[in-house]
Amino acid sequence: MIRQAHSDPSSSFVGRSLSAADGVNERKWYAVFTFPQNEKSALKQLELRDVESFLPTYETMKVWKNRQRVTTIMPLFPTYLFVNIEKRERAKVLQSPGVIHIVGGTHQDASIAASEIEFLRSCVQGRSVEPYRELLVGRIVRIKRGSMEGVEGVLVRRGNGLRFVLSLKLINQHAAIEVAAEDLEQVAD
């Protein structure tokens, strides 16, 4: 099965200003839980409501029973997408068809670091990325150069290459990308 990174054209960002003078109107990234296999339609509904949203996707080759090969675009994190909103826009997200809830506690939504979203944005464009379900115990490393500088994750091996696994602990999901060994440094315990 061949997998390659893909940036879905429908995962574009709706242009919105990010200026916030006070902390009340500050934009933060949140994970949104959607109905299964409904991520793309939920993304379109959010964009119709002028909500900045992001659905990381990847491209994979599937072989059907008749041996026909078909390339499909799949969500990197099934049933999840991400929105960049102010607190007052929460209702707009929750009223969108396909959205079940914003991930977080009972009374407080838990935001995701902007650096993790930037990492996802940069890794889905032009890199080999795929979902990573079996997170193995490994060394924690940090990327030391490039657009993903400072992002921490777990180092694992796959075949002959090194894979960097980013863990979004909030939604218990993981993504793996290929990285060069010289771009990594071990994080002190």
> How far is residue 181 from each of residues 28, 32, 72, 82, 165, measured CA to CA in Å?
32, 33, 30, 30, 13
Whether the per-residue pLDDT at 168 is higher than 60: the answer is: yes
We report the CATH number of the domain holding residue 57 as: 3.30.70.940
3-state SS record for the chain: CCEEEECCHHHCCCCCCCCCCCHHHCCEEEEEEECCCCHHHHHHHHHHCCCEEECCEEEEEEECCCCCEEEEEEECCCCEEEEEECHHHHHHHHCCCCEEEECECCCCECEECHHHHHHHHHHCCCCCEEECCCCCCCEEEEECCCCCCCCEEEEEEECCEEEEEEEECCCCEEEEEECCHHHEEECCC
Contact criterion met (CB below 8 Å) for 58 and 3: yes
169: which 2 tokens?
A: 């602990």
pLDDT tens per residue across span 95-149: 999 999 898 766 676 888 888 888 788 776 666 677 765 444 467 778 877 777 8
Domain tally, the chain: 1
Containing structural domain, residue 53: 3-186
Is the per-residue pLDDT at 21 higher than 60?
A: no
Rounded CA-CA distance 90/112 in Å is 15
What local confidence, expressed as pLDDT, does residue 43 receive? 95
pLDDT class for 178, splitting at 50, 70, 90?
confident
Contact 111, 44 (CB under 8 A): no
Percent of the chain with pLDDT over 90: 23
Q: Which residue has the higher pLDDT, 14 or 61?
A: 61
The 10s digit of each residue's pLDDT in 50-94 is 999 999 988 888 888 888 889 888 898 899 999 999 988 889 999
pTM here?
Answer: 0.63
Q: How confident is the model at residue 4 (pLDDT cuts 50, 70, 90)?
A: very low
- Which of 38-42, 85-89, 115-119, 171-175: highest mean pLDDT? 38-42
Return the higher-pLDDT residue of 44 and 128. 44
